[in-house]
Amino acid sequence: MKRKASPSSFSGDPPPAASPTTVDSFCDDVIAEFLVRLPSVPSLARAACAVKRWRRVASSPAFLRRFHALHPGQAQPLLGHYYYTECSSRPVFQPAQPTFSDPELSAVVRHGDFFLTPVTSMGRLEVEDCHQGRLLLRNCDTNELTVFDPVARRVLAKLTPPRHGNKRAFHHNSGSFLIPGRVGDQAASSSSFRVVTMQRCSTTVIYASGGDQRLDMERLAVYDSSTGAWSARPWTNTGDIDMPLPLKVKRYSAMHAPGRICWKRLRGGSPNSLVSLDAETMGFPEVVPPPGVLLGPSYAVGDTDDGSMCLVNMEERGTMRLVMLSKKKWHLRVWLLGKSGCGGRAWVLDQEQETSLTTSTEDAADMLWDYDQACRVVAVNAGVVLMCLHSPRRLNDRYIAFRLSNLEVVASFSASEPVFQYQMPWPPVLLPTA
């Protein structure tokens, strides 16, 4: 018996069209191949912000390692600066010039929350630190710490530092800072971080014989995001560990360098030295600046765009009478620290030149006529130098940020201190996974 033919076989109609292929139909491996070929960190962040699935693929440690291997030596893009004013209960964000001209950077800023909307209800906030795309904020009323990611638009942690067991003890924090997660920790990934709090405590010990004694103690307390817990060292007498003095002067705040945090020494020992906190050992090794660099505001320690530890020194060139006839010049010197061992490492002069760093009529007028102003190098992060021009004649200081590689000015604004640079981290740990 012959099978009856289907009517559709004689209708002459074309076969049904196949469903169109879209990006959503590709597997994660194919999407990763697309994303890994993007030219820069901002382009990756912009693409990852478009689709939730892409964010998940782009934030995996395996992908980030591969992306980093294919794009070595890229500087962390500067998005802007945070500073605090007396007229606001939260930090103010000042976008940098590249965010207006670069569509990828401007897209990252638009999709983020740089005005700190999720933390506006927490009361008066101050920026304690800014590192690797994260902000460390302190509530001035409760001393609670908040780690916030503006690009991911989320609060990463709300922390209350541990206190001394004696409730009557006078307890205060000398400063809190962000550092990366531990190297080699299996639980740590590119998204892990640690918060270091320097604590001081004054308590009175009453002896059975009737006498008493006041004890001043200090310690380090560290929060690790990979474990979600605090770890604190035992209390020790003040001076037993070479901890920096309380940061009473904002201009001498901490400086981030590869694997450590540095402060200019303000007490004891050599007057021309730095004290640093090693991120792995939690010790305080001393770093001696290069010869001829005096202790003061004219230099800062940080890192270049390829991650090398550097020291940037800027000094005024020429006399005041000669300045009237030309633009004010600044003598720029850049030293790199050798990579061999910690104890015997030496500084090597890598760059030396004169520059005016004027970007506008306002900057030129300030540098030409304001003789009382003093140059201060605030920070050096991923090859971007933040310089402050302080003058008693102005209510606010003038800040200029420029790249070490080509001396290109990327930001120029007036603000009151302290000022913190916000740069996209590398690798981009800021990509949210949810």
- Around Cβ 383, how many Cβ atoms within 10 Å? 24
Tell me the pLDDT band of 83, cut-offs 50, 70 and 90: confident
DSSP characters over 232-300: EPPPEETTSS-PPPP--SGGG--EEETTEEEEE--SSS-SS-EEEEETTT----EEPPPTT--SSTTEE
Record the tokens describing residue 355, joined without a space: 């520059």
Record the tokens describing residue 357, joined without a space: 């760093």
Select the highest-mean-pLDDT range: 168-177, 283-292, 298-307: 298-307
Which of the pair, 412 or 6, is modelled with greater confidence? 412
Which of the pair, 182 or 169, is modelled with greater confidence? 182
Between 41-48 and 103-111, two packed helices, what is the crossing angle to 10 degrees?
A: 40
At residue 434, the pLDDT reads 42
Answer for the pair 281, 342: CB distance below 8 angstroms, yes or no: no
At residue 334, the pLDDT reads 93
Give CA–CA dist 139/126, Å, rounded.
7
| Pairing outcome for strands 145-149 and 134-139 | antiparallel
Tell me the pLDDT band of 427, cut-offs 50, 70 and 90: low
Q: Which residues contact 132 (CB under 8 A, 6 or more apart)?
A: 178, 180, 193, 425, 429
Give CA–CA dist 244/53, Å, rounded.
45
At residue 186, the pLDDT reads 41
Domain ranges (residues) in the chain: 31-71, 72-182+191-318+327-423
The domain over range 72-182+191-318+327-423 is classified in CATH as 2.120.10 = yes
At residue 396, the pLDDT reads 79
Is the confidence at residue 18, as pLDDT, over 80? no
Tell me the pLDDT band of 358, cut-offs 50, 70 and 90: low
Q: What is the pLDDT of residues 180-218, one digit of tens each?
A: 887 654 444 557 899 999 888 877 767 677 677 777 778
Half-sphere exposure at residue 300, Cβ-oriented, CA atoms within 13 angstroms: 25
Is the confidence at residue 347, as pLDDT, over 70? yes
Question: pTM of the full predicted structure?
Answer: 0.79
Q: Which of 341, 264, 352 is nearest to 313 (CA)?
A: 352
At residue 380, the pLDDT reads 94
The mean per-residue pLDDT over the stretch 141-166 comes to 86
Least confident piece of the model among 23-27, 55-59, 106-110, 185-189:
185-189
Is the confidence at residue 96, as pLDDT, over 80? yes
